[in-house]
Structures are given as structure tokens and as C-alpha cells.
């Protein structure tokens, strides 16, 4: 049996909650991390029609990009359609988890998927990158228990460096100690100097999971008082950032690029914000969702066009005045996450032998119809 917590733990190796923007309500939305999962459904939005789809398909777990709960519920009035939807989720034991701006920030996440769809070349982050702070743990373990401790630490999330997992370093030596009268030694006798063949195991991990790693170390370590060193490591943390910038294979007019976006995003209409639709462009910035406030960062990256959603009237004027062109294909293009997330979860399903079924929501949650 696989529960939500196991699935989420694997996902958060890919896009940790700590990578979300401040104030973004990512993570568990409704339900329990202990919920057993037989079938999970990927969706962009959690709407009443999506919940009805989940109920019909006997789904245990909804994994959404947009949080179902952006604001606290002040009064649980079931006449409110949103509250009624929450009640349906609880009634049918469906747990909901959301990965929003942490998925947007993730390497090979939302914005890389969008940039890849447009076939951009030489891709780099749009906004300034963040870096995880890393800690290094060096723990001294009797050699007979070294493998057990090392495996427990890496299973808890230590030892991940870039695209490599289970990274550690071991050096052998001799540990010395004298148990005092109040001690309860695993090895040796009270008041007798003791020497033990030990391994020094070193692993690195993000600062955010430090308490978890130390708890695991103390739980599996055979000594009453484990000896260890812990210190911060500079410069080796994972880097992540919002949006992407890249180049087209050849220059095209803004008009042609807009048509290209319509084809790639499979949408009938989009909005173009420009002073000259015939101008040729080659360098493109893209940020899924609502990103119009970052157009000045696009200018710093010397992009010709900014593709993002929800551009307001006055911001549109500012973009034109700056000499930039923007294309607004809408917020709903983020539905691209559904097949990509399904592929990831199916891969992890096979690797971890979860034996769960992963499906995509087939509901179109775009609130806009163009006539």
C-alpha cells in the first residue's frame, strides 16, 4: 500500500515546498498524508466539475498545480459552491495537494516545459536565481552499523547533489571513549577505556530538512550519544528560479510568432501587446501564469518578446512604452503540466513499485470563452 506522504516525499525531491514564493499556500490542502492511494489524478485547477470527475473515477488523491485553498475559510456555508466542493472532497476521502510556484521554479518544471514547447534554444532563467543552503553532516559510526546508518540518511533525503542521489563519503578510523557511571554503552564497559573500529560517514543535504536528518541519525545510530559534526557548506546548493529566456532558431515577425504560439499552445486566440507587429524578433522570455509585473526583468535579459498571462490594461501600455512586445496566451496554458506530471509520477510509480494508477483530468478549466 502507498500513501500520499510517500508520493509527496518523492515529488518534493523534484520541487521542494521551500522553493515556493513567499505566501504561496502550497502543500497539503485537504485530507491526510496517511491516505492510501490506489488512483491519483493530475489537474491544473481544483473546481467542482473536477471533483465530480474524481469521484466518478474513484480517485483517492488529487495532485493540482493551482491550490484549492488560496484563502482561509471564514464560514463553512455549504450554499457557497467552493465550500460545497470542499465538503465533497472530505465526504469521498479525497486528499488534495498543490504544487504551485515551487513547480514554476523547479528545474525541468513548468517554465522549462513551456520553453521547450516553443523550441527555445540556449535557455536560462528569467528571474534572479535562488540557491538552497546546504549542510554537511559527518557522523562517526561503528563499522558494523555503518551501512544501516548511511542508507537511512540517504533514504531521508541526504546525499543528493544535482542529478546524483545516494552520495556519501566514508573514511575509516578508531573511536575512543570511556563510559561513565550513568552511561548505558552499546559497546564497552563502564569506566573502562574503549577503542572501536568506526567509519566516518559524510553526507550533504538542504538546510530545510536538517531536523529530519538529525532525527533519523539519532534513531538508527547504535550509540547512546552519537558523535557528529554539522556545518554549513557554501556554494553547492541547488539553484532554481522563475521563468525562462531563450532564442528562436531564426528571426520571425511578431505576427508570425503570435500564430506560432497559438499553434503550440492549441488556443484559438491570444492578445498581442506591441508597437509594431511587423518587427522581427528572435529572443523570447516566457513565464507561465500571471507574470506581467516582471517585464522589467525581461528587458534586463534583452528579450524581444515576453510570453505571459493576465496582462492588465495599464501594464500593457507600460510594456509598449518600454519598447518590449508581450504576448498573452492566457493563464490556462499551464495545463501543459498535466501530461508532464503524469509522466513523472508514472516513472516514480515504476521505480518505487507503488502500484498506483495515474490519470489526468479531462476537464477544461479555462474560465474564458472567445466568441
Residue 71: inside a domain, yes or no?
A: yes
The pLDDT of residue 197 is above 80: yes
- Kindly report, residue by residue over 316-362, the tens digit of the pLDDT: 999 999 999 999 999 999 999 999 999 999 999 999 999 999 999 99
Q: How far apart are CA 132 and CA 12, in angstroms?
A: 14
**Hey, what's the cell of 137?**
553532516
Q: Which domain holds residue 269?
A: 110-128+241-329
Instruction: Specify the pLDDT at position 41.
Output: 98
104 is in an annotated binding site: yes
Report the alpha-carbon distance of residue 130 to residue 122 in Å, rounded: 20
pLDDT of residue 239: 83
User: Do both 16 and 67 map to the same domain?
Assistant: yes
Q: What is the helix (H) or strand (E) element at residue 110, kind and residue range?
A: helix 110-117
66 is in an annotated binding site: yes
The answer to whether 340 is annotated as binding is: no
Give 22 or 201, the one with higher predicted confidence: 201
pLDDT tens string 121-158: 999 999 998 888 889 999 999 999 999 999 999 988 89
- 221 marked ligand binding residue: no
Task: Classify residue 365: in a domain, yes or no.
Answer: no
Residue 70: which CATH number? 3.40.1390.30
Are 319 and 293 a contacting pair, CB within 8 Å?
Answer: no
Same domain, yes or no: 222 and 258: no
DSSP code string of 132-177: --EEEEEEEEEGGGHHHHHHHHHHTT-S-BTTB-S--EEEEEEEEE
User: Which residue, of 233, 268, 294, is where some domain finishes?
Assistant: 233
Q: How far apart are CA 139 and CA 156, in angstroms?
A: 15
C-alpha grid cell for residue 207? 538546510
Quote the pLDDT of residue 236.
66
For residue range 7-28, list pLDDT tens digits in order: 999 999 899 888 999 999 999 9
Residue 288: inside a domain, yes or no? yes
Q: How confident is the model at residue 161 (pLDDT cuts 50, 70, 90)?
A: confident
Task: Convert the pLDDT of each residue in 230-265 to its tens digit.
Answer: 999 876 667 889 999 999 999 999 999 999 999 999
Amino acid at each position: 500500500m502507498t500513501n500520499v506522504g510517500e508520493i509527496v516525499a518523492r515529488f518534493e525531491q523534484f520541487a521542494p515546498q521551500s522553493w515556493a514564493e513567499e505566501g504561496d499556500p502550497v502543500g497539503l490542502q485537504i485530507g491526510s498524508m496517511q491516505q492510501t492511494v490506489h488512483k491519483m489524478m493530475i489537474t491544473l485547477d481544483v473546481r467542482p466539475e473536477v471533483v465530480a470527475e474524481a469521484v466518478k473515477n474513484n480517485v483517492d488523491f488529487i495532485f493540482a498545480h493551482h491550490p484549492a485553498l488560496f484563502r482561509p475559510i471564514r464560514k463553512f456555508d455549504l450554499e457557497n459552491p467552493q465550500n460545497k466542493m470542499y465538503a465533497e472532497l472530505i465526504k469521498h476521502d479525497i486528499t488534495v495537494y498543490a504544487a504551485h510556484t515551487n513547480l514554476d521554479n523547479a528545474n525541468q518544471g513548468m517554465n522549462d516545459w513551456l520553453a521547450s514547447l516553443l523550441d527555445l534554444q540556449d535557455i536560462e532563467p528569467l528571474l534572479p536565481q535562488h540557491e538552497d543552503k546546504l549542510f554537511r553532516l559527518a557522523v562517526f559510526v561503528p563499522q558494523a552499523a555503518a551501512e544501516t546508518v548511511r542508507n537511512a540518511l540517504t533514504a531521508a533525503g541526504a546525499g543528493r547533489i544535482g542529478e546524483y542521489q545516494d552520495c556519501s563519503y566514508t573514511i575509516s578510523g578508531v573511536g575512543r571513549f570511556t563510559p561513565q557511571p550513568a552511561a548505558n554503552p552499546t559497546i564497552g564497559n563502564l569506566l573502562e577505556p574503549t577503542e572501536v573500529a568506526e567509519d566516518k560517514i559524510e553526507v550533504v543535504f538542504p538546510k530545510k530538512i536538517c531536523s529530519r536528518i538529525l532525527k533519523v541519525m539519532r534513531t538508527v545510530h547504535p550509540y547512546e550519544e552519537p558523535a557528529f559534526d554539522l556545518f554549513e557548506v557554501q556554494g553547492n546548493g541547488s539553484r532554481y528560479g522563475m521563468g525562462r529566456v531563450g532564442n528562436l532558431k531564426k528571426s520571425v515577425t511578431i505576427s508570425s510568432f503570435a500564430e506560432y504560439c497559438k499553434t503550440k499552445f492549441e488556443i484559438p486566440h491570444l492578445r498581442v501587446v506591441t508597437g509594431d507587429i511587423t518587427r522581427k524578433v528572435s529572443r523570447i522570455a516566457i513565464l507561465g501564469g500571471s507574470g506581467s509585473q516582471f517585464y522589467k526583468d525581461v528587458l534586463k535579459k534583452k528579450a524581444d518578446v515576453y510570453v505571459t498571462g493576465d496582462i492588465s490594461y495599464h501594464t500593457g501600455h507600460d510594456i509598449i512604452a518600454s519598447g518590449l512586445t508581450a504576448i498573452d496566451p492566457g493563464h490556462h496554458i499551464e495545463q501543459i503540466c498535466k501530461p508532464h506530471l503524469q509522466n513523472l509520477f508514472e516513472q516514480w510509480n515504476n521505480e518505487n513499485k507503488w502500484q498506483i494508477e495515474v490519470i489526468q483530468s479531462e476537464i477544461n478549466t479555462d474560465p474564458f470563452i472567445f466568441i
